[in-house]
A and B are shown apart, each in its own frame.
Chain A
């Protein structure tokens, strides 16, 4: 059935080692054409019905792609205009080796049957395999294999036409010698019938530019020169971070250095882009300077003109001469790029100039402007769009890039959502066919077999309590009296792991997404909607699979025993927090649901009290809800989220379930249980809180969570009721991020969850929208014999990698959510001017940082224009106050400010504040007219209850 051939490969792992691998050559590989009579048929989506329309060829043809096309022209390949492509396995392997993201993009095209791509395993086919020659470079060898495959196809199917697409000139010429038709992408795309935009998507090659252009930047060192330099200790490797405020300044984080290395000016930065791994050369100590602290915006308009840069550089130099002694930093310059970390950037077109070449301004201000070539400038001017960098030649002031795709009109809700998602690296494309194929077929029915394997709880009165409009209900509760004057309490969580089997495309996609992301008017699901809003959602009145955690408790909320099992439930009712609250309060209601809710509420209060006594923190962060007009999708109002007792009730039981599950899985999987820890912050983190407390006359004890909780409880002030909340907001900012980790990766005492003050914690209660919970479900299913393990579940290293992704995605999802709130708040404020109540959060040298609780906003009230010092205010650094005449402004003082939106910079709108109260002559403004004030006071009455942000099973839902 097969012949064998072994070959020798040299590999370098420290020493030179000889690796011998087997390589089997087969005769049963399918060419991919259903009309072929010689090959054994396997599924293939190549089809005669699809026609590639390129005017270079008068006939229908099949494309064979070279490696460089896939690596560099992915943006073009993703256009559905090109089809019937054959991907050789040689090419595929090389692509995977060079760039995993590109490989994934390629595979999603291959998986889409409407694109008609086929993978041909040429390197195991008996007629297309050739051994590597002695001394032949791997690239040459691969090219030879590609050409061989082309010739083979032409022989194998003489009545079909094949075209090799390659941008490698040498390969193209060699192909011509073998009489293989070969073209470059540029040629090919130019002759395609339609699509101007496709031309814009082509990656630009350096060679197009005239040779005599003057260099603007010093040359980069070669890779080998850099490596030698680093080895000899003359150069240092680090990650470049550009300054957001000054386009001519940045830092290089060198591992092992205490301070970052400062780089300044065109020569210092030398074409490094934020995130790149670079080699830096250090200057002599006498040339070290301090960071400039000045704001420089790149005002350049064309590629060649660098006069304004020179002016700016001079300013920097002047500034450097005045460096303060104690702020001097190690300084150096970038001499080469070790690894580019270019990604795709969102942004807009600059200015109104005509012409083929345009300047693109990225939304992220740490990224330089990018030169692009476009034939649709008129259209792009109204759009936000994506650009990717191709190269940054020495003679060009700006990196060269190409247009990838338009996101939509500037300022539109949908466009801005897209920008937020892209800028926070949130995977949000449609679920691929392969992923969707893993879903159960409808109608979904519960079989007898399912009933046998699960505990039937359909007869029990279970209900769910969630925010209004919630469609992904992942938890439900019940409570009923049992014998011995005890209560049985059950938390039922959607059994997502029943539907998402390990290793499937669906599983991999969910693991990569890690979490559902909630924007103001959009939800980006972690799992397809059929699961998130239907089969897994524990909707009222429908039979659903659940994973149940059931406690027997006495009336003092002491747990007598705990059990876990998979079950079938039928929720009696899906309630909102408000409905549940009304049911509890309405004494006339006495049905089983009302009774169980009352019991749950009673137990929850005891649990909460116990938890707080142990030192759990009640923190605060202003969280707002934006009311949207359901038709126009425009924000109507911004308000603080309302909280009910039932919020806290659900939270307590979710916490308890998570803790119980954490104990159980750790017991059975001491090495690979997925847990969640919240590290104790280093005491220096608390400095701002302690300082603020001291100024107000409170002694903040920070030595333990318990003492901190106590100090926060004690710090109240009758005249300023908001003061306590302010302190809690400050305390929140001292905290570190809670993270997922596998139990084997940490010491036992490091498992501690600081915010909740529990030794062990995990996430179990929201598997629809968090991947960590799915893993926890799988572990728990194994411990109760409901499911089997698989290697990666028990592999500590794999779990560590998984946790890294989960932690990263969670952080990004959080930022994305905030960015979305910010954008909608801005949209709401467009064209409005309002006076609002606020509190001073920090007192700075030239500004007051003001918190406006009503909108959860934090803005700077500048006391003087930039670069000048105020002649009204006197700054007292020790006491953190500003003095104007007789009036002293402290931290946490109440003020009234006038808010308006500054839209001068389309991509970076910000609020401008003016002081209304207290009135300071020559600085403050008069309050707005009475009519508007009236509206304000009405709104100011809205509930300002603080929102507890202590960790909760489900505290981040779509509002």
Chain B
């Protein structure tokens, strides 16, 4: 990537025309498949992710894994071969997807009321259809929607967002692939935005502690913004579903 590119221009616009505190466009839809118990599709900018949820159901495979005090949450992350510019076969279970699966599980466990379903299992499958930066946040957000669609009780939304620091000074929200490539540390945060609890936090490179508070604050603000958008989508979806079954009157 050209070293002459600056993340934030003099006039305060980013390379794609956003300002520092703006999210990319988010579009999402619940219930995109009929087969799983819950499903969702989300677009954050050009990053596109599908999520499907099965369960809660009996523990399959090794019965011994079943827990007496709560449901087992099993996450599977994968990327489509066509999801990046270069076509690449991505075997399931490579290091990157295992890591992302585990991070996803950690975020979801914080929100799902697993104690309601002892001895059972919930499967969450996410697939990246197109990757353009911020894959993990999109996966978390998609999984949240799919869980809601499946009717699994959550403590609250779990949302994720990235943030970075432009020109060593200005915190910047929702980093695109282009911006990632130019450089600068990327902070990924997954949080329960209503209670303000952080459930996962990851840095892409070394970063001085002094800058952390403002970038973190920005990322949390991003999570809240995401939550509002998801919330609206959920309400619309419920309205849609409700009106088709006749218990909500759509105006």
Q: Across the two chains, which residue of chain B brings its CB closest to A789? A: B208
| Chain B 1-34 interface residues, beta-carbon cutoff 8 Å to A | 3-4, 10-11, 13, 15-18, 22, 24-25
**Interface flag for B211 (CB, 8 Å):** yes
Taken together as a complex, chains A and B put the C-alpha atoms of A119 and B12 apart, in Å, by 12
Contact A791/B205 with A1-B22, A23-B16 known, Cβ cut-off 8 Å: yes
A-side contacts of B10, CB under 8 Å: 119
- Decide if B168 touches A121 in the complex (CB within 8 Å): no
Cβ of A287 within 8 Å of any chain B Cβ, yes or no, is no
In the complex, whether B178 has a CB less than 8 A from a CB of chain A is: yes
A21 — which chain B residues lie within 8 A by C-beta?
15-16, 46, 178
Give residues 147-182 of B contacting A (CB, 8 Å): 165, 167-169, 176, 178
A794 in contact with B206 given A6-B46, A18-B85, A100-B4 (CB within 8 Å): yes
Interface status of B209 (Cβ within 8 A of chain A): yes
A124 touches B168 (CB 8 A): no
Chain B residues lying within 8 Å of A123, measured Cβ to Cβ, are 17
Interface bracket on B: 20 to 34
B86 in the interface, Cβ–Cβ < 8 Å? yes
- The residue on A at minimum CB distance from B130 is A20
| Contact between A20 and B132, CB atoms less than 8 A apart | yes
How far is it, in angstroms, between the C-alpha of A2 and the C-alpha of B167 when the chains are bound? 24
Q: A347 on the interface (CB 8 Å rule)?
A: no
Q: Is A195 an interface residue (CB 8 A)?
A: no
A2 touches B22 (CB 8 A): yes
Which B residues touch A96, using CB under 8 A? 4
Residue pair B11, A119 in contact (C-beta under 8 Å):
yes
Q: Does any Cβ of A come within 8 Å of B36's Cβ?
A: no
In the complex the two chains form, is B206's CB within 8 Å of A2's CB?
no
- Per-residue interface assignment for chain B, residues 196 to 229, with 1 indicating a CB less than 8 Å from any chain A CB and 0 otherwise: 0000000001111111000000000000000000
Of A22, A96, A100, A798, most buried by chain B (CB within 10 Å of CB) is A22
Residues of A within 8 A of B185 (CB): 791
A26 at interface, CB cutoff 8 A: yes
Complex contact A25–B168 (CB within 8 A): no
Q: Which residues of A, 180-231, contact B by the 8 Å Cβ criterion?
A: none
CA–CA, A782 and B207, complex, Å: 12
Residues A788 and B11 in contact, CB atoms below 8 Å apart: no
Given contacts A23-B16, A788-B211, contact A17 B85 (CB under 8 A): yes
Taken together as a complex, chains A and B put the C-alpha atoms of A15 and B169 apart, in Å, by 37
> Is there contact, CB below 8 Å, between A791 and B184?
yes
Nearest-neighbour CB distance to chain A for B19, whole angstroms, equals 9
Residues of the B chain whose Cβ atoms lie less than 8 Å from the Cβ of A801: 3
CA distance A22 to B211 in the complex (A): 28
Question: Residue B70 at the A interface, CB < 8 A?
Answer: no
The answer to the question of B118 belonging to the interface, with a C-beta cut-off of 8 Å to chain A, is no
Q: Please tell me if the beta carbons of A503 and B16 are within 8 angstroms of each other in the complex.
A: no
Q: Chain A contacts of B4 at CB under 8 A?
A: 96, 100
Q: Tell me the bound Cα distance from A121 to B24 in angstroms.
A: 19
> Is A339 interfacial (CB-CB < 8 Å)?
no
Asked if residues B176 and A22 are in contact (CB atoms below 8 Å), the reply is: yes
Q: Are A788 and B210 in contact (CB under 8 A)?
A: yes
Q: Complex Cα distance A352/B205, Å?
A: 65
Check B183 against A24 for contact (C-beta < 8 Å). Answer: no
Chain A stretch 8-50: residues in CB contact (< 8 A) with chain B: 15, 17-26, 42
Shortest beta-carbon distance from A87 to chain B in Å: 11
Q: Which residues of A contact B168 (CB under 8 A)?
A: 502-503, 790-792
- The contact string, 1 if C-beta is below 8 Å from chain A, for chain B 67-84, is 000000000000000000
B25's closest neighbor in chain A, by CB? A4
A22-B46, A124-B13, A503-B169 are known contacts. Are A788 and B208 too (CB-CB below 8 A)? Answer: yes
In angstroms, Cα B208 to Cα A42, docked, is 32
The answer for the CA separation of A789 and B185 in the assembled complex, in Å, is 12
Please indicate which of the listed interface residues A17, A782, A791 has the most CB atoms of chain B within 10 Å of its own CB.
A791
In the bound assembly, the distance between CA atoms of A6 and B132 in angstroms comes to 12
Set of chain A residues within 8 Å of B3, measured between Cβ atoms? 798, 801
Least CB distance from B246 to A in Å reads 35
Query: From residue B23, how far is it (CB to closest CB) to chain A in Å?
Result: 10
Q: Are the C-beta atoms of A25 and B184 separated by less than 8 Å?
A: no
Q: Which residue of B lies closest to A111 (CB)?
A: B10
Q: What's the Cα separation between A121 and B11 when bound, in Å? A: 8
For residue B184, which residues in chain A have a CB less than 8 angstroms away from its CB?
791
Number of interface residues of A (CB under 8 A): 34
Determine the residue in chain B with the shortest Cβ distance to A797: B3
Q: How far, in angstroms, from A119 to B4 measured CA to CA in the complex?
A: 18
Partner of A790, one of B15, B25, B208: B208
A572 to B119, CA, bound (A): 79
Taking a contact as CB atoms under 8 Å apart, the answer to whether A25 and B17 are in contact is yes
Docked pose: A491 CA to B165 CA in angstroms: 36
Is the CB–CB distance between B211 and A121 below 8 Å? no
> Would you give the shortest CB distance from A131 to chain B, in whole angstroms?
14
- Contact: A26 with B17, CB < 8 Å? yes
Q: In the complex, which of the residues A24, A42, A119 contacts B16, with contact meaning CB atoms closer than 8 Å?
A: A24
For the complex formed, measure the closest distance between the CB of A729 and the CB atoms of chain B, giving whole angstroms.
42
Q: Whose C-beta in chain A lies nearest to the C-beta of B206? A: A794
Q: Which among A19, A503, A788, A798 is the interface contact of B85 at CB below 8 angstroms?
A: A19
CB distance from A743 to the nearest CB of B (A): 16
A795 at the interface (CB under 8 A from B): yes
Residue of A nearest to B132 (CB): A20
**In the complex, what's the smallest C-beta–C-beta distance from B206 to chain A, in angstroms?**
6
* Contact indicator B183/A795 (Cβ below 8 Å): yes
Interchain CA distance A122-B38 in the complex, whole Å = 44
Partner pick for A503 among B24, B46, B167, B210, CB 8 A cutoff: B167
> Contact between A789 and B86 (Cβ–Cβ < 8 Å)?
no
A residues 487-536 in Cβ contact with B at 8 Å = 502-503
Task: Give complex CA distance A26, B18 in Å.
Answer: 8
Contact B85 A22 (CB under 8 A): no
Chain B nearest CB, measured from A784 CB (Å): 14
Contact with B along A632-657 (1 / 0, CB 8 A): 00000000000000000000000000
Partner of B206, one of A15, A19, A22, A789: A789
Residues in A767-822 with C-beta less than 8 Å from chain B? 782, 788-792, 794-795, 798, 801
Contacts of A20 in B (CB 8 A): 46, 130, 132
- Docked complex Cα distance between A123 and B11 (Å): 13
Chain B nearest CB: distance from A468 CB in Å? 40
A551 to chain B, nearest CB (A): 29
Question: Across the interface, which residues of A come within 8 angstroms of B169, CB to CB?
Answer: 503
Q: Mark A98-140, 1 if CB is under 8 A from B, else 0.
A: 0010000000000000000001010110000000000000000
Give the shortest distance, in Å, between A874 (CB) and chain B (any CB): 60
Q: Is the CB of B13 within 8 A of A121?
A: yes
Find chain A residues with CB under 8 A from B13 CB.
121, 124
Query: A2 touching B86 by the CB < 8 A rule?
Result: no
Contacts of A792 in B (CB 8 A): 168
User: What residues of chain B lie closer than 8 Å to A25, measured between beta carbons?
Assistant: 17
Q: Which residues of A contact B86 (CB under 8 A)?
A: 15, 17
Query: Could you tell me the distance between the alpha carbons of A801 and B183 in the complex, rounded to whole angstroms?
Result: 15
Pair A22/B24 contact, Cβ less than 8 Å: yes
Q: How far is the CA of A801 from the CA of B4 in the complex (A)?
A: 12
Contacting residues, chain A, for B176 (C-beta < 8 A): 22
Chain A residues, Cβ within 8 Å of B183: 791, 795
Closest Cβ neighbor of B208 among chain A residues: A788
In the bound complex, residues from chain A placing their C-beta under 8 Å from that of B178 are 21
Which of chain B's residues has its CB closest to A107's CB? B10
Distance (Å) between the CB of B3 and the closest chain A CB? Answer: 7
Distance in angstroms between the alpha carbons of A956 and B86 in the assembled complex: 54
Among B120-142, those with CB < 8 Å from A are 130, 132
7 A-B pairs (CB sep. < 8 Å): A4-B24, A4-B25, A22-B25, A100-B4, A124-B13, A503-B167, A503-B169
| Chain A interfacial positions (CB closer than 8 Å to B) | 1-2, 4, 6, 15, 17-26, 42, 96, 100, 119, 121, 123-124, 502-503, 782, 788-792, 794-795, 798, 801
**Which 10 A-B pairs have CB atoms at the shortest separation, nearest pair first?**
A24-B17, A788-B208, A124-B17, A788-B210, A503-B168, A17-B85, A4-B25, A789-B208, A790-B168, A22-B16
Query: Assuming A1-B22, A790-B168, A791-B184, what are 11 further A-B pairs, CB within 8 angstroms?
Result: A22-B24, A22-B176, A23-B16, A42-B11, A119-B10, A119-B11, A789-B207, A791-B165, A791-B183, A795-B183, A801-B3
